[in-house]
Structure 1
């Protein structure tokens, strides 16, 4: 079977790494100077590891039913691990409000979807960024910048410049899951690879790590839908 992968080169990168994203795409992150032939040799040497990752149960698979629901009164949407009822308000409301339910202005469906997405992004900035600063202080690491990003197949990432990025969709998950993802990325500032030491650091700072991993395994795909 031919192994397909994409190559992302960077002048700042010194070491080649391979990631298998949740959508089962294989990405090679490589320094500028390395040839395609050398990359192919390295990927070939890692084939068994890559196939193990591709078959991991947490990787993205198509849902058994048609994804997504409509933004109509009576439907529900996730926020911090719980589902809340949607109510379309025909008059007197110019933006989404939340009070134990989502109050959404009556407008075109596309605009409603955009408004809900922007609401989620705003809440992610409001709630995730302070938690990053808290955990960074507890771990004794310095973070250059915290960004809330739109990266459908990764919950978080840590860059070579000590920036940490988090998927806005995380705000739909419970706070113990959000804390786990934050600690996971911050731990990479101490230990780059997933070594036993790395997992010990994560577990010490996020004692509900296994519970969080299980929650993401069972519910992660639902977070990728708008509703």
Structure 2
């Protein structure tokens, strides 16, 4: 069982100190064996995980010890991009400006490099999010069907998630799961991730046979992996 609590903590490290109050999410986990910390790029928070018998003093000591690392990692995060009018969000790797048009048809549509959102402006953020997820599901389904046909495998279903570390996964029952945020990546990056997970329908491992299947489906393995390492955290800052 885990319990999460977020607060803004003014870290006072010695001899280093972070210049501004830092959001820290305290995560007490029955499964944890030691105090640990990580950066949540989506929330822009430091996450400190405590075992059942460790107190916050141990967490603060770890934060102070690694203050320079925390400062560097938080400082390197891309700016947060809200789903708001006038903001540019990537779709297929290309920026699209969000524009509100109460008279437009449908909740949201693509039009000449814009995401045009209809209806009451109060629902704009939700409608843009729904549009991006629907577009992700549509694009992924098309790619997955083509790759599955090439390998002669069947997909049970496709689900979308909002994961922080895994872009895709394949369950033993043939269910494929993907982060909806992949719709913002270039098309060839999305194609690689879909090909990767479809490949697991033949080999639920990372053996040489598995990678041979992936190579049959897409030539973009190394470039896409590099792109996700460099730019994946930016996608987590949208919305």
TM-score range relative to shorter protein: 0.5 to 0.7
CA distance in structure 2 between the aligned counterparts of 1:204 and 1:66, rounded to whole angstroms: 35
Q: 2:210 aligns with which of 188, 198, 202?
A: 198
Q: 2:121 aligns with which of 92, 97, 107?
A: 107
Say which SS state the counterpart of residue 179 (structure 1) adopts. Answer: helix
CA distance in structure 2 between the aligned counterparts of 1:141 and 1:129, rounded to whole angstroms: 14
Report the CA distance between 1:180 and its aligned residue: 0.6
Residue range with higher mean Cα deviation, 67-76 or 125-134: 67-76
Q: 2:99 aligns with which of 74, 81, 87?
A: 87
Q: 1:215 aligns with which of 227, 233, 239?
A: 227
**TM-score with structure 2 setting the length:** 0.63
RMSD between aligned alpha carbons? 2.8
**TM-score with structure 1 setting the length:** 0.66
Where in structure 1 do 4 or more consecutive aligned residues deviate above 3 Å? Answer: 4-7, 22-25, 70-74
Larger radius of gyration: 2
CA distance in structure 1 between the aligned counterparts of 2:30 and 2:165, rounded to whole angstroms: 15
Report the CA distance between 1:73 and its aligned residue: 4.4
Higher strand share: 2
Report the CA distance between 1:92 and its aligned residue: 1.9
Which residues of structure 2 form unaligned runs of 5+?
Answer: 1-28, 33-38, 42-46, 48-72
Tell me what 1:58 maps to: none
CA 1:72–1:183 in 2, change beyond 3 Å: closer, same or farther? Answer: closer
Report the count of equivalent residues.
172
Q: 2:185 aligns with which of 166, 173, 182?
A: 173
Say which SS state the counterpart of residue 202 (structure 1) adopts. Answer: helix
CA distance in structure 2 between the aligned counterparts of 1:71 and 1:132, rounded to whole angstroms: 28
